[in-house]
A and B are shown apart, each in its own frame.
Chain A
Amino acid sequence: MFRQRIADWIFRSRSPEKPPVILVQRRIFIIPSRTGYFFAFVLVLLLIASINYTLSLGFFLTFLLAGMGSISMLHTFRNLAQLSISPGKVDAVFAGETAHFSLVLTNPSLPRFAVGVKRTKLRDAEPSFGDVASRSSTTFSIPMVAEKRGYAVCGRLEIFTEYPVGLFHSWSYIDFNMRCLTYPKPDTAGGALPSNARGDGVGNIAVAGDEEFQSLRAYRAGDTPRQIAWKALAREQGLLSKEFGATASADFWLDFDSDTLQHLSHEERLSRLTWWILEAERRQVPYGLKLQRQSFQPSTGHIHYEKCLKGLALFGLNLEPSDD
């Protein structure tokens, strides 16, 4: 599309941008919408009828509507102008799930209505719409299916509006280089945790007793609420975490290069490992992860879990150093 090409040219070396971006005059484009062209056609009909029947009030009506239409251009423009835009938080997802990018629009002045945000990469992307009340902000959520592990890139976003009368389409582009960490798709058919994750013949790790309470230790960041000794907390003994029987017996390692995974492809192994991490985390079995040169010491808890999954997500991918 012509519009697309103009915008491509104007934004050719700009992205990514530093938030917050304020939609100033030169960032906002405006052209008549299809409705606008239809309206113009109706105006021509009104004008012809007025001329032909010499209807003075018809001229008034025609010109009132023509004036209204042209003034609406300013109103549509104004519905975007001076909005301040910054990226919102994005939660990591598993491949195949929908990532929700978010964009925060802050309005310093008059209320804005029916503002839409959509990705420009997809032709028929379903936009998300919202209003931004005066001196407040609204978070727009932009859904996108994360197909592969790694980073799902949101790409350039179009912020657009046709409010108040729909005769003009006003839009602006913005690119914060938003990306969503995508974990490998868990291999749900991966079955239970391997009895010998290491593949060295030691098969007696007592994972069966994993629910058995062993001892209390000081709370570490990343411990799940399930691990917290609520009773101890109630007795005012401070924040303690429970340690379970199984963790004490042996370190439990998940290894990318283990023999049990030899028959699987690269990606299948990552999927299988992801599934096992989910399983281990669910059952509170401390686990370690070896990804060739990278290794994560056995532990449990949210932070450990996210670290491992991120390792899996980015394993072997050539990425520019991330800032997070």
Chain B
Amino acid sequence: MINQGALTLANIMWLLAAMSFVIAPHVSHLPAWVTATCVAAGLWRLWIARKALRAPPWWLMAIITVAITVGAFFEYKRLFGREVGVTLLIVMLCLKVLEMKMKRDVLLVIFLGFFLALTNFLYSQSIFMGAYMFGCVWIFIATLIGFQRINTEATIRERVIPAAWLMLQAIPMMLVLFFLFPRLSGPLWSMPQENQAISGLSDSMTPGDISSLSLSDAIAFRVDFESVTPQSQELYWRGPVLARQSGRGWTPISTEERSQLNFEKRSPPIKYRVTLQPHNKTWLFALDLPAALPAEAQGRAFFLADFQMRSREPVSQLIAYDVTSYLGYRTLDPLTPIDRQNSLRYNSNLNPRTIAYGKKLAEDNPDPKALVEKLFTLYNKEFTYTLEPPKLGVNSMDEFLFETKQGFCEHYAGSFVLILRAAGIPARVVTGYQGGDINPITKQMIVRQSDAHAWTEVWFDDLGWLRVDPTSFVSPLRINRGLSAAVGPQGAFNIMMEADKLGILRQLRYSWDAVNSQWNQWVVGFNADRQRNLFENFGIRDVDWRSTGLALLIGIFIAGGVVGGVLFWRVYQTQKEPVVAAYDRLCAKLALLKSNTGADLTRTPEEGPMDFLQRIASHHPRLVPELKPLFDQYIALRYGQLQEQGQGRGQGQGQGRAKRPSHRRGQPSGHADRLPNRTAADATAQFILGVRRFRTSRTTNSTAR
């Protein structure tokens, strides 16, 4: 199998390069010993290929395989699952590379390499990752082409260019299949969720949680408003509601599910579409208060009594949903005794001064509204809003309220609720996002992690639950203009943006965001729903498998037909040399001449140029002065010293016997005779021009005279 094995050094190096490229993005989440094993296997293989050594014995491979499996078990505490599966696939494929002996092994490695490329998408589906993997597939196909060569070694051009053509020609079919292949709306079987921590809101709040998020530029979700975009101070995106004080922070309590929220609508509806980035939690963000569950959810979403919208499954991929919200509302549900109890409970062992203050405040202000008014003045006059508040001790609220008086939204929300509860007014903490940034290019609102916020809801017997945002008492700018307006730019990028007076960076950032948004909409977020929308845009309603199948078939037929047609056309184009083509044109022109004697002046296949010219001369002697130089030029180009390079090369290689080992490699001189021969090129051009100028009509007239 030596002639077919093709396990040459160059081929092995290509394969190792392809493998390295496809594994590289995985390195960040692979255990170090796995990466080390892979690198070692690759280097060993390279050494084997260089020195033409034997592959390691099977028993050694078996020992290594068992050792790695055991190692993976200790690392992940299991042998099934996504993470451990990817790790094992990578390391086993590297071992396969090490021990491969035949072409069949190589093919296995390359095909599983494609699978490895796919596993990268489990971690990222960004534009960069897509482009990078496209490159990886290119290298893999180039490698595959190299391995298909027999006896001769493929040059880099002979690998890379056909691979590129194959991929480019596959693109029409890829697009057709991507958009028309019937999509399922859920997974085939549910996989154990191994949620990676994604920075974002959490379901508890202690001072410092949200201020750490404020440094993150990551996008939480994007919003497309249908017509009206509300003012910034109206944009409260509700996340987890935290009604229990626990330790220094706040945690949620379980409440009952609802299919509808009960409230009085006091403003026109606001319609919008949220495209939510995966956060591995069940929150579905909406503006207070949403009228109904999204139609797309179909039982996969629900409301909670505290007005949260939730998903049954953690949001582990990009999703989009349509919501209608009423920003002006009055809640209609009565406060049940349990709710009241939950909303008044506090830890009486901590923060004694705060509790005492709350109780005193209640005595002084029997009217809850007056009490809130009083607190507004307190916060507004004496407190400062800062991202870097002083560290607080055990009685954190006491220290904050009476000593440091500097805090971020979680301090204000927490202390505010605690005071109200001590004063006997039901209240709770609400977290979520506040505000948003409009991308002027897409007109889309972008809500980032830095927009994370905490506010409160207070129960008034006549008004129901009412939103009160103590942060706005301290820093109205935060609510009206956003975080950077309130506390200055955060993070290196934002500081750079601030310095960029012309707004170039800002413009770039918005453009990039617009691209990403389209990518999310058409690529990452393209699912069964979007496919249905696409069909509806083309006027096809009630999409079933038959119409999808038909569309798919037609699409493939067109995509394949166009590419196939071009390919066929190219193979049937026998590439004539320019000189021969021009001579044929000249003969065709002469064939149109009718001689006086009525003889046919079509050149016969076996007739040489000299004979042909003689025959023409005997019928049309006047043509000779014009034709003679042309025929001389042709003879010189075709049979003489000025032979065209293509012709000479072709004959030179013609003698090659099939069994000759890699004659391509041992042909460095091939470049020399490929260099354009200037005289030959000039003569060719001159001849072609001469043929073009030759007019039979003109000469026929002259003969008639």
Contacts and interface: CB of A to CB of B under 8 A. Distances in A.
A55 B649 CA distance: 50
Interface string B112-134: 10110110011001000110011
Given A35-B107, A67-B173, A113-B149, A50 B166 contact: no
B167 interface: yes
Given A75-B567, A113-B149, A61 B137 contact: yes
Contacts of B118: 46, 49-50, 55, 58, 61-62
B317 A54 contact: yes
Interface in A117-141: 117, 128-131, 133-141
Contact of A51 (B152, B184, B651): B184
Contacts of B657: 130, 138-139, 141
A164 B567 contact: no
B526 interface: yes
A275 interface: no
A163 B152 CA distance: 13
Nearest to A24: B572
B92 interface: no
A129 B137 contact: no
A136 B650 contact: yes
Interface stretch (A37-45, A150-158, A204-212, A277-285): A37-45
Contacts of A66: 170, 173-174, 177
Contacts of B3: 129
A81 B108 CA distance: 29
A29 interface: no
A114 B654 contact: no
A162 B4 CA distance: 12
Contacts of B440: none
Contacts of B154: 113
A64 B656 contact: no
B656 A139 contact: yes
B575 interface: yes
Interface residues of B, number: 78
Contacts of A139: 655-658
A65 interface: yes
Interface residues of A, number: 60
Interface string B637-667: 0000000001101111111111100001000
A71 B121 contact: no
Interface in A88-109: 108-109
Contact of B525 (A56, A58, A68): A56
A303 interface: no
B539 interface: no
Interface in B182-219: 184, 187-189, 191
B523 interface: yes
A61 B114 contact: yes
Interface in B93-118: 107-108, 111-112, 114-115, 117-118
Closest 9 CB pairs of A and B: A67-B170, A130-B658, A67-B173, A63-B177, A136-B650, A108-B574, A129-B150, A68-B170, A140-B658
Interface of B: 3-4, 107-108, 111-112, 114-115, 117-118, 121-122, 125, 129-130, 133-134, 137, 141, 144-145, 147-152, 154, 158, 162, 166-167, 169-174, 177-178, 181, 184, 187-189, 191, 317, 523-527, 559-560, 563-564, 567-568, 570-575, 646-647, 649-659, 664
Given A63-B177, A164-B162, 11 more contacts: A56-B527, A67-B171, A71-B560, A74-B564, A78-B567, A109-B572, A109-B574, A109-B575, A110-B570, A129-B658, A141-B657
